[in-house]
Chain A
Amino acid sequence: MSRQYDKIIIGAGLYGLYAALFSGGRGQKVLVLECDASAFGRATYVNQARIHHGYHYPRSMSTALKSAGYFERFHREFSFCVNKEFEKIYATSGQYSWTDGKQFQEFCAAAGIPCEELHPERFFRSGMCDGAFLTKEYTYDAMILRDYYLEQLAAISSVEIRYGVRIAAIAKDTDDYVIRTEDGDEYRTAFVLNASYAGVNQILALAGYEKFAIKYELCEIILCEADEKLSQYGFTVMDGPFFSIMPFGKTGLHSLTSVTFTPHATSYEELPEFSCQAGSGGYCSRERLGNCNLCPVKPDTAFPYMANLARKYLREEYGFSYRESLFSMKPILMTSEIDDSRPTVIRTFSKKPTLVSVLSGKINTVYDLDEVLCDGE
């Protein structure tokens, strides 16, 4: 005996819960299926918590413009979880950068985002950076955002979230998709939204559709205690094998990441295959990713490597120390290697019944979902 829903959303990250609230608010009957025991347990929480304004993409104007467009809206609508009490400094490395200080400035002017030139040696060791800029970029607190969504959704009786659900099969049956779980439950709907991020291809494999061309990176975000001087700043050194150290939401901690040391392992397969999966005792596999952060065989921290890289650039007074590490799986579209763009991809695989997959690495492009959610109403 199966239950019927207007929409079934796979994944209780930001994209999933945003879609649930959006549709539930219009009176639809929505079911959210989540494999973890709680919402926002993976990529929505484990990332740099950056609200992109476009600075990150000096080689992809389209990504920059899109981020900039949504930046104001996101921080207006979600101001309760946004931390803007710090100064965000972008700098361009003197060596090995694909973009120099002047080009970065021209790029900001073209993208229409604020960028005020500062003296690099105020923050960085002599000769390390050829440009430093005061910018406008904020960070969001995923846990506050989660609580907000759970509170809002609890007030809507037509929306239901199920945790710890393991999907066994997705099949098409005339005008419906039938989703069967390992516990033997069956759900029917005419609209499936696959918002499972790193699990996107695993869900598509169950439904028998063509997969996204992505690679997978097992990433580490380090949380640090910042010394007093550093606590008022966020730094990002561009544009190549460098690092970021910036406030992590409203936690009072700083997140530390680097381009070379944040990814611990990479898989170029359609479905994620990693050597650590063998040691996880069935918790994580090619077909079903576990939560790296809770995994018994998560990697050793790369803090010494990232810290040395950051200290090579930052002046001594901007010190920090290790608190803890967060791990998560990150899918990266293979097309974005050259220009380092991070497009939000929404792909419709079938209509009536509808199956839509969303893949986005940025929090503030969540509004891109509106169009596809309204479709067919």
Chain B
Amino acid sequence: MANKEKNFVSAVIYVHNAEDRIENFMEAVLSVMETNFEHAELICVNDCSNDGSVQRIKEAAKKAEHVSVTILNMSYFHGLEAAMNAGVDLSIGDFVFEFDNTVLDFAQDTVMDIYQRALQGWDIVSASPDRKEKFTSGLFYRVFGYFTDSSTKMYTESFRVLSRRVINRIYSMNKTVLYRKAVYANCGLKTDRIIYPVRDGSRGRTDVREKKYRAGLAADSLILFTEVGYRFSKAMTALMMVMSIFMTVYSIVVYLSFHPVAGWTTTILFLSVAFFGLFGVLTIIIKYLQLLVDLVFKRKHYSFESIEKLT
């Protein structure tokens, strides 16, 4: 191609036990970078893979001509969010592609489509597959959307491109980024989404560790970025108030019309409901506290083992 893009781009790929697909995936991304950009770098964030992923990455890196390939080895399993933050921190591109998984279900043109869209003035452009969302993901995004006041809706995304401006903004806004999508949605710069047709239906396996991590992340994100906890405790308080009013009225009625002998049953009932609500509120307070502790006191939010420049 005669006219290559002058912008320097970085591609950050999350790799965790992906030996069966990383090589294909890297080749695809490398070929997009080599054919379309004069200068590019590729950063593979190896989140403590214990299979042959690193070896495959090194094999694939040999095919790079002018693209610089780096592998960032995390010290222990960090999960997608922290590991990708580490990768983006290391990147130096004017535009940075984030590939959250290594399932090659998109056509290579899609990568350039979102880049072209970004050039038109959208600071964050993401690419979503056109297949039906997984039930759990759909539920999560619905709950998230319902309980947050941000106007930006969130969807399942495979990869996205960020401008350096957005990265700088996020650096100065946040010390820690627990859930990138929520931060991106709230950063105040323009975002857009492209839906691409899925090339083949396979979703790729997610290992147990990643599944557990995602469930935990979903709970944390809901607590931190939405009002779920607050609304729950509000509803609980309201319920308890109504019940206590009812109980007051009821006990007065009982007192006036009957002889107050059977009062012990109502007392028990009242106590159990009150305690249920109280415990609910307590759980949420504890969750908040734990998150605050994590955000404020864990100064280094990721720890990397080594950075190897391959080409």
User: Quick check: is A367 within 8 A (CB to CB) of the other chain?
Assistant: no
Residue of A nearest to B68 (CB): A305
Q: Do B39 and A260 touch (CB < 8 A)?
A: no
Residues in B with CB closer than 8 Å to A296 are none
Q: Do A125 and B8 touch (CB < 8 A)?
A: no
Contact with A along B65-108 (1 / 0, CB 8 A): 01010100000000000000010011011100000000000000
Smallest Cβ distance from B283 to chain A, in angstroms? 34
Residue of A nearest to B307 (CB): A241
A interface size (C-beta, 8 A): 16
User: Quick check: is A96 within 8 A (CB to CB) of the other chain?
Assistant: yes
| CA–CA, A16 and B174, complex, Å | 54
Residue of A nearest to B90 (CB): A96
Contact with A along B29-45 (1 / 0, CB 8 A): 00000000011010000
Among A125, A126, A309, contact of B92 (Cβ-Cβ < 8 Å): A309
8 A Cβ contacts from A203-241 to B? 240-241
Among B38, B86, B90, B164, contact of A241 (Cβ-Cβ < 8 Å): B90
8 A Cβ contacts from B162-179 to A? 164, 168, 171-172
Known: A126-B172, A127-B171. A96 touches B38 (CB 8 A): no
Question: How many contacting A-B pairs (Cβ < 8 A)?
Answer: 41
Smallest Cβ distance from B301 to chain A, in angstroms? 10
User: Quick check: is A312 within 8 A (CB to CB) of the other chain?
Assistant: yes
Q: Do A96 and B304 touch (CB < 8 A)?
A: yes
Residues in A with CB closer than 8 Å to B68 are 260-261, 305
User: Quick check: is B309 within 8 A (CB to CB) of the other chain?
Assistant: yes
Contact with B along A78-95 (1 / 0, CB 8 A): 000000000000000001
Residues in B with CB closer than 8 Å to A376 are none
Among B86, B92, B168, B304, contact of A305 (Cβ-Cβ < 8 Å): B92
Q: Do A95 and B172 touch (CB < 8 A)?
A: no
User: Quick check: is A356 within 8 A (CB to CB) of the other chain?
Assistant: no
| CA–CA, A179 and B41, complex, Å | 48
Smallest Cβ distance from B4 to chain A, in angstroms? 12
Q: Do A127 and B172 touch (CB < 8 A)?
A: yes
| CA–CA, A236 and B153, complex, Å | 43
Binding site for A on B (CB under 8 A): 8, 38-39, 41, 66, 68, 70, 86, 89-90, 92-94, 164, 168, 171-172, 304, 307, 309
Nearest 9 A/B pairs, CB to CB: A127-B171, A304-B39, A126-B172, A308-B92, A95-B89, A309-B92, A308-B8, A312-B92, A127-B172
Binding site for B on A (CB under 8 A): 95-96, 125-128, 240-241, 260-261, 300, 304-305, 308-309, 312
18 contacts between A and B (CB under 8 A): A95-B89, A96-B89, A96-B304, A125-B168, A126-B172, A127-B168, A127-B172, A241-B90, A261-B68, A304-B8, A304-B38, A304-B39, A305-B8, A305-B41, A308-B39, A308-B92, A308-B94, A312-B164
